[in-house]
Amino acid sequence: MAARVPVPLSDVAPAGDAGRPGAPSAASVRGLTRRFGDRAVLDGLDLTIAPGEFVALLGRSGSGKSTLLRALAGLDEEVDGDIEVDGSVAVAFQEPRLVPWKRVRDNLTLGLDVPGPAARADAALAEVGLTERAGAWPLTLSGGEAQRASLARALVREPRLLLLDEPFSALDALTRITVHRLVLDLWAAHGPAVLLVTHDVDEALTLADRILVLDGGRVAHSWTVTARRPRHRDHHDLLALRTALLAALGVPPEGTR
């Protein structure tokens, strides 16, 4: 079981991968271990995410990315180690997971315990460009619309930490670009820390302040991305990082196969 120690996050020493000692953090993970049978998928993992930081998490298939997200979201009680999250957490998954028998607006207000939930939901739907679809049934939405509804459902909760588990991977290339821009706009407007799980190296380079690679049950690599946004994938600052990132993921350099 994770020991959730009731101390302010600012008292937790960062792992050195984000923030200064004593600086506040949106999430702090220390010695996180998750075993399935004899296998430790997460093995003493340390991670600090600064408030408002946009972090992309990559790693080979089966390296434990979703396992880490589930632990941070409080969806997995079978973990050892310390997890501290400063404030509310919201998750958007690869599949939008809208409740099919509730209209889009009612999906947003489901379990939303705030004054004027319907108005909050409508404001969030307007932000993602779905005002016209507020009364629609989820199954009538396109893939991009459903994913935007899922983002609105996460944001209406004003999370301090937004966990995104491959939310763009099922979208076509054009829709994906549009939703990338939307996510950056929403992030700028609301300021949550974001942890984005993705397999897409260019997505990570375009969006994130910091890129992590999970390997051997821990954060094996961490790069800070300083290029200004909006970024183009061919930005010269990103090319060397792209090569290093691909190498860390075990992808051989071009022309070597």
Ligand X SMILES: Nc1ncnc2c1ncn2[C@@H]1O[C@H](COP(=O)(O)OP(=O)(O)OP(=O)(O)O)[C@@H](O)[C@H]1O
Residues at the interface with ligand X (CB under 6 A): 36, 41, 59, 61-67
Closer to ligand X by CB, 227 or 249: give it.
249
Closer to ligand X by CB, 61 or 226: give it.
61
Closer to ligand X by CB, 72 or 141: give it.
72
Closer to ligand X by CB, 66 or 206: give it.
66
The answer to whether the Cα torsion of 191, 20, 213, 85 is positive or negative is negative
Query: CB 60 → ligand X: shortest distance, Å?
Result: 7
Closer to ligand X by CB, 68 or 90: give it.
68
Closer to ligand X by CB, 27 or 125: give it.
27
Query: CB 215 → ligand X: shortest distance, Å?
Result: 10
Torsion on CA atoms 202, 207, 210, 213, rounded to nearest 10: -40
Closer to ligand X by CB, 64 or 192: give it.
64
Query: CB 67 → ligand X: shortest distance, Å?
Result: 3
Query: CB 232 → ligand X: shortest distance, Å?
Result: 26
DSSP one-letter string for the chain: -B----S-GGGSPP-SSSS-TT---SEEEEEEEEEETTEEEEEEEEEEE-TT-EEEEEE-TTSSHHHHHHHHTT-----EEEEEE-S-EEEE-SS----TTS-HHHHHHTT--SSSHHHHHHHHHHHTT-GGGTTS-GGGS-HHHHHHHHHHHHHTT--SEEEEESTTTTS-HHHHHHHHHHHHHHHHHH--EEEEE-S-HHHHHHH-SEEEEEETTEEEEEEE--PPSS--TT-HHHHHHHHHHHHHTTPPPTT--
Query: CB 120 → ligand X: shortest distance, Å?
Result: 31
Q: Which residues contact 86 (CB under 8 A, 6 or more apart)?
A: 9, 24, 25, 26, 27, 51, 160, 161
Query: CB 219 → ligand X: shortest distance, Å?
Result: 13
Query: CB 94 → ligand X: shortest distance, Å?
Result: 8
